[in-house]
């Protein structure tokens, strides 16, 4: 241990505070990533999809629908053309029409043919569809995409606000803890100051200890965060494109760790990197806050 | 050298000056008694000279540096050239006696080997080397005072200030300390000692700074002794 030239920091509740903040920050980051992914997914899906409804009373419905589907398949930028089955249409309309009987028909009401077109770019589908089937209703989902995009941006902004608030509370908590510690050791700090210790000499020692305690708190927070994140990853795994076969229950610690690690891989890599960096960010914040608080306090002395 | 010209000091929490138009000069390598009744301004003057505060008015030069205009860095470097024995010892309770005594040398960047050698030399001289690993709170008043003296003497300061440095010492130890102060003076250190110990003053006659109500009342040692007697009466 280096020779003391200035009082250190009394730890108090600093590691516990930082652990809690890391836990909250990690959860907020996970939430932020989830919201971002969802918003991007919604906006992307809506932007690149068009719904076509063909009324059931259209003459030569089946043949003309086939022709339209073939024309759409040949259209540049169209990636898929999917015709919904009557059951799928019923499910889609259930919120408005209620559950339909097993026969699949509503009394006095016949269901339209519904086509879902996925595409890239902005092909003029309205024109193409109306040339073949003027009776069809083309509903471009772009407007919905814009609305969803707006909603997504608002949700992401809220999540960022939550993360920023947690960071601000963490900085305030560290600042108050450091200030309390300095006040508790005011006499010792004044002694070393009046014996000729420089401001940076005093603040660096306190800030170094604050960084170390914050790092310990951050690692503790991350330790308690990992089961929550693993659980989230497990819930997300079935929806992941990279999801492999369902793992068998682990029987040894090693296989359990490998299994957990593989589960975590379904999460966005950026989120894993951000979570991994949390203890380091906590240490940096602790160091910076302590330096600032001590240096400001020392300015009161001549 | 210490030079004060019309120096006044008014702490914000007091509301009236504790030192008023004080003018005095102490050449480098001289000894002065600092005398006066309680409340005369001795501690305030020592606070000024240890750079714990700056004068509210007037000009103060210490070791060739004008204090009023000095930067924080200049004051910091100047403090490392001053030794101080406070009346309340001001030892850091969480540290060992050794770490307390070694602090001035460590602040000057001395090697740990030199720091250790010098710290133990001064602790042995003051008969407290066996307490080096103890914390100040476990020591008697006299032992704490000797640790504070050791911290002030280490590294041979250019200015040594002492506030009642013998009040917890036995007579023999007090005389020995005074002899050490005289040795430092011969080596070029300016020494100012505040005391109420009349016997000690009589044994070591020297020029004095006699304060009364925050002003300089005289420099003659006999006046100082008379002031101490009137205070006791």
Dump pLDDT digits (tens) for B26-55: 999 999 999 988 888 999 999 999 999 999
| pLDDT at residue A103 tops 80 | no
Cα separation, B162 vs B218, in Å, equals 20
Assess whether B134 and B40 both reside in one domain: no
Decide if A188 and B102 are in contact by the 8 Å CB cutoff: no
For residue range B213-223, list pLDDT tens digits in order. Answer: 899 988 888 87
Instruction: Output the pLDDT for position A126.
Output: 82
- The domain that holds B60 is classified in CATH as 3.40.50.300
Residue of A187, A188, A302 lying closest to B53 (CB–CB): A302
| pLDDT at residue A241 tops 60 | no
Assess whether B146 and B74 both reside in one domain: no
Instruction: Output the pLDDT for position B200.
Output: 87
Assess whether B93 and B114 both reside in one domain: yes
For residue range B185-226, list pLDDT tens digits in order. Answer: 999 999 999 998 888 888 888 899 999 989 998 888 887 787
Assess whether B106 and B68 both reside in one domain: no
Cα separation, A180 vs B230, in Å, equals 46
| pLDDT at residue B170 tops 90 | no
Q: Which residue has the higher pLDDT, A224 or A46?
A: A224
Q: Which residue has the higher pLDDT, A126 or B138?
A: B138
Assess whether B17 and B55 both reside in one domain: yes
Instruction: Output the pLDDT for position A227.
Output: 87
Backbone angles phi and psi of A56, in degrees to 5? -70, -20
Quote the percentage of chain A above a pLDDT of 90. Answer: 15
Assess whether B28 and B133 both reside in one domain: no
| pLDDT at residue A238 tops 80 | no
- Domain-terminating residue out of B156, B187, B204: B156
Quote the percentage of chain A above a pLDDT of 70. Answer: 85
Cα separation, A270 vs A280, in Å, equals 16
- Domain-terminating residue out of B133, B156, B179: B156
Instruction: Output the pLDDT for position A251.
Output: 64
Assess whether B172 and B75 both reside in one domain: yes
Instruction: Output the pLDDT for position A254.
Output: 72
Helix axes B97-107, B112-125, angle to 10 degrees: 130
Residue of B72, B79, B112 lying closest to A3 (CB–CB): B112
ipTM associated with this complex = 0.88
**Full set of structural domains in chain A with CATH:** 14-30+165-298 (no CATH), 56-135 (3.30.70)
B103–chain A nearest CA distance, Å: 6
Partners of residue A197 in chain B, C-beta under 8 Å: 76, 107
Query: B62: pLDDT confidence band, cut at 50, 70 and 90?
Result: very high
For residue range B123-163, list pLDDT tens digits in order. Answer: 998 889 999 999 999 999 889 999 999 999 998 899 999 99
Chain B residues with CB under 8 Å of a chain A CB are 50-54, 72-73, 75-80, 84, 90-95, 99, 102-104, 106-108, 112, 115, 151
C-alpha distances (whole Å) from A142 to each of A51, A113, A128, A148, A253 are: 11, 21, 17, 9, 50
Nearest residue to A23 via CA among A127, A134, A122, A166: A166
pLDDT (average), residues A23-33: 86
Decide if B106 and A3 are in contact by the 8 Å CB cutoff: yes
Query: B120: pLDDT confidence band, cut at 50, 70 and 90?
Result: very high
Residue of B76, B93, B99 lying closest to A4 (CB–CB): B99
Domain range for residue B65?
Answer: 1-81+158-233
* Number of inter-chain CB pairs under 8 A, A vs B: 55
The tally of domains found in chain B comes to 2
Assess whether B123 and B188 both reside in one domain: no
| pLDDT at residue B83 tops 90 | yes
- Domain-terminating residue out of B131, B156, B181: B156
Q: In the predicted model, what is the mean pLDDT of chain A? A: 81
Collapse the DSSP code of B148 into the 3-class scheme (helix H, G, I; strand E, B; otherwise coil) and give the result: helix
């Amino acid at each position: 241990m280096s020779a003391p030239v200035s009082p250190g920091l009394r730890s108090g509740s600093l590691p516990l505070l930082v652990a809690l903040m890391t836990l909250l920050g990690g959860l907020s980051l996970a939430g932020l990533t989830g919201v971002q992914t969802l918003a991007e997914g919604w906006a992307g899906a809506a932007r690149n999809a068009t719904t076509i409804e063909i009324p059931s009373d259209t003459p030569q419905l089946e043949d003309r629908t086939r022709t339209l589907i073939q024309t759409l398949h040949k259209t540049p930028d169209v990636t898929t053309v999917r015709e919904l089955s009557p059951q799928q249409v019923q499910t889609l309309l259930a919120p408005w029409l209620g559950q339909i009987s097993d026969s699949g028909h509503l009394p006095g009401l016949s269901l339209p043919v519904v086509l879902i077109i996925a595409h890239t770019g902005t092909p003029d589908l309205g024109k193409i569809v109306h040339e073949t089937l003027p009776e069809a209703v083309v509903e471009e989902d772009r407007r919905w995409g814009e609305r969803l995009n707006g909603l997504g941006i608002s949700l992401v902004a809220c999540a960022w606000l939550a993360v920023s608030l947690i960071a601000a509370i963490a900085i305030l908590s560290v600042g108050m803890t450091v200030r309390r510690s300095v006040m508790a050791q005011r006499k010792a700090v004044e002694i070393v100051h009046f014996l000729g210790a420089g401001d940076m000499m005093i603040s660096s020692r306190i800030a170094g200890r604050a960084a170390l305690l914050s790092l310990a708190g951050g690692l503790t927070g991350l330790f308690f965060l990992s089961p929550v994140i693993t659980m989230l990853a497990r819930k997300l795994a079935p929806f992941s494109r990279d999801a492999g076969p369902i793992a068998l229950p682990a029987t040894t610690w090693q296989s359990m760790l490998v299994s957990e690690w593989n589960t975590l891989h379904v999460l966005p890599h950026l989120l894993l990197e951000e979570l991994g960096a949390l203890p380091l960010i906590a240490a940096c914040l602790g160091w910076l806050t302590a330096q600032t608080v001590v240096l400001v306090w020392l300015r009161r002395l001549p | 050298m210490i030079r004060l010209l019309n120096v006044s000091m008014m702490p914000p929490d007091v509301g009236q000056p504790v030192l008023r138009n004080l003018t005095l000069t102490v050449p480098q390598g001289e000894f002065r008694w600092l005398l006066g009744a309680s409340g005369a301004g001795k501690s305030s003057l020592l606070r000024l000279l240890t750079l714990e505060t700056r004068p509210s008015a007037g000009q103060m030069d210490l070791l060739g540096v004008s204090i009023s205009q000095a930067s924080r860095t200049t004051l910091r470097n100047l403090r490392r050239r001053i030794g101080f024995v406070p009346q309340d010892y001001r030892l850091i309770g969480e540290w060992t006696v050794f770490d307390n005594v070694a602090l001035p040398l460590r602040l000057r960047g001395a090697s740990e080997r030199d720091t250790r050698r010098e710290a133990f030399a001064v602790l042995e001289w003051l008969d407290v080397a066996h307490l080096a690993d103890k914390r100040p709170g476990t020591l008697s008043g006299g032992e704490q005072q000797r640790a504070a003296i050791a911290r002030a003497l280490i590294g041979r300061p250019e200015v040594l200030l002492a506030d009642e440095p013998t009040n917890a010492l036995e007579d023999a130890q007090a005389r020995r300390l005074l002899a050490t102060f005289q040795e430092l003076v011969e080596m070029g250190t300016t020494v100012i000692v505040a005391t109420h110990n009349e016997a000690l003053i009589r044994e070591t006659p020297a020029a004095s700074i006699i304060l009364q109500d925050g002003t300089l009342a005289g420099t003659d040692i006999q006046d100082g002794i008379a002031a101490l007697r009137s205070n006791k009466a």
